[in-house]
């Protein structure tokens, strides 16, 4: 596999029509100033460049490039210094499609992943999608990816992607969403018996992964989220990128 560093040594610039793979876990930020972690790209993930190094950036380790992660179409800014941690992909990313029955057969694995993540020392990390520290939707994405099911990145995107169900239809492996009347801002994974697992921030009473109840009579964290409950939804498909294969 050819690395970006080798391309640059050959005086061949990276291009926006290629897919690249991450050699290590990488951080993506919300601006070219590399401020505000928005997501992480785990080792092996695919990305494509949205912009190329400017003439003043070529051969330097300063600055940032706009990129898009291929599996979930998520945009962000990557430090130019991290270009050396990318390899040219031997073939473009290709999403897989699973039937609803195949997905249901895998959801226990997603639950097991989330429970194992909770058992490790962790804290809430805005933008975190790589162990041990996750944000709420990052934990959901990582849990389902562990069994080969890709979801969109953010809670509101996940809510729009999955299938709405009635509260009476909740099954282990379904997602429960919280937030304002207009937007989902938090998500958890339903375990059964009115319990769900999620990664929660300090402002809501916890700093990391825990299990809470869908109840107005639970502890303070459960009550806080229950007051923001938007509804439940079921994963019935794998996300298919809009960006295409190139």
The 10s digit of each residue's pLDDT in 134-149 is: 999 999 999 999 999 9
Domain termination site, one of 88, 118, 134: 88
Residue 162: which CATH number? Answer: 3.90.1720.10
Q: What is the mean pLDDT of the chain?
A: 91
Q: Which of 68, 70, 136, 238 is catalytic?
A: 136
Cβ burial of 19 (10 Å; 0-12, 13-18, 19+) is: buried
Residues 79 and 136 in one domain: no
Q: d(Cα 135, Cα 3) in Å, to the nearest integer?
A: 31
- Whether pTM > 0.85 for this model: the answer is yes
pLDDT tens figures, 171-226: 999 999 999 999 999 999 999 999 999 999 988 889 999 999 999 988 999 999 99
Share of residues in the chain with pLDDT > 70 (%): 88
Domain termination site, one of 88, 117, 146: 88
Q: d(Cα 201, Cα 195) in Å, to the nearest integer?
A: 18
**Which neighbouring-strand residues pair with 176?**
188, 232
Task: Let me know if 198 is a catalytic residue.
Answer: yes
Strand, helix or coil for residue 64: strand
Domain termination site, one of 88, 109, 134: 88
Which residues form the domain of 140? Answer: 100-234
Residue 94 falls within a domain, yes or no? no
Q: d(Cα 129, Cα 89) in Å, to the nearest integer?
A: 22
Q: Name the more confident of 13 and 41.
A: 41
Burial track 167-200 (b if 16+ CB lie within 10 A, e otherwise): eeebeebbbbbbbeeeebbbbbbbbeeebbbbbb
Residue 16 falls within a domain, yes or no? yes
Residue 22: which CATH number? Answer: 2.30.30.40
Cβ proximity of 221 and 206 under 8 Å: yes
Residues 35 and 133 in one domain: no
- pLDDT for 55 equals 52
Place of tokens 């080969």: 148
Task: Let me know if 19 is a catalytic residue.
Answer: no
Cβ contacts of 124 within 8 Å, gap of 6 or more: 133, 134, 135, 199, 200, 201, 202, 206, 207, 208
Peptide bond connecting 132 to the previous residue in cis, omega within 30 degrees of 0: yes
Q: Which of 22, 68, 198, 238 is catalytic?
A: 198
pLDDT of 9 higher than 50: yes
pLDDT of 92 higher than 80: yes
Task: Let me know if 186 is a catalytic residue.
Answer: yes
For the record, the structure tokens of 160 come out as 């729009």
What number of CA atoms fall less than 13 Å from residue 94's CA on the CB side?
Answer: 4
């Amino acid at each position: 596999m050819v690395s970006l560093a080798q391309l640059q040594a050959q005086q061949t610039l990276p291009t926006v029509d290629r897919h690249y793979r991450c050699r290590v876990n990488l951080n993506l930020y919300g601006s070219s100033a590399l401020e505000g972690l928005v997501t992480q790209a785990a080792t092996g993930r695919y990305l494509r460049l949205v912009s190329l190094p400017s003439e003043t950036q070529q051969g330097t380790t300063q600055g940032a490039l706009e990129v898009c992660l291929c599996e979930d179409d998520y945009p962000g800014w990557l430090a130019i210094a991290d270009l050396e941690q990318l390899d040219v992909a031997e073939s473009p990313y290709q999403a897989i499609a699973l039937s609803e029955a195949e997905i249901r057969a895998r959801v226990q694995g997603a639950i097991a992943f989330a429970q194992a993540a909770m058992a490790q020392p962790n804290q809430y990390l805005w933008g975190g999608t790589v162990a041990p520290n996750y944000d709420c939707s990052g934990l959901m994405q990582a849990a389902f990816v562990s069994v080969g099911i890709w979801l969109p990145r953010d809670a509101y995107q996940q809510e729009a992607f999955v299938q709405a169900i009635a509260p009476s239809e909740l099954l282990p492996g379904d997602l429960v969403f919280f937030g304002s009347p207009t937007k989902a801002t938090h998500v958890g994974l339903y375990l059964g018996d009115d319990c769900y697992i999620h990664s929660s921030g300090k402002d809501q009473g916890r700093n990391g992964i825990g299990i809470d109840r869908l109840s107005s009579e639970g502890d303070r964290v459960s009550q806080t989220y229950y007051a923001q409950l938007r509804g439940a939804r079921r994963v019935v498909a794998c996300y298919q990128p809009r960006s295409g294969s190139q």
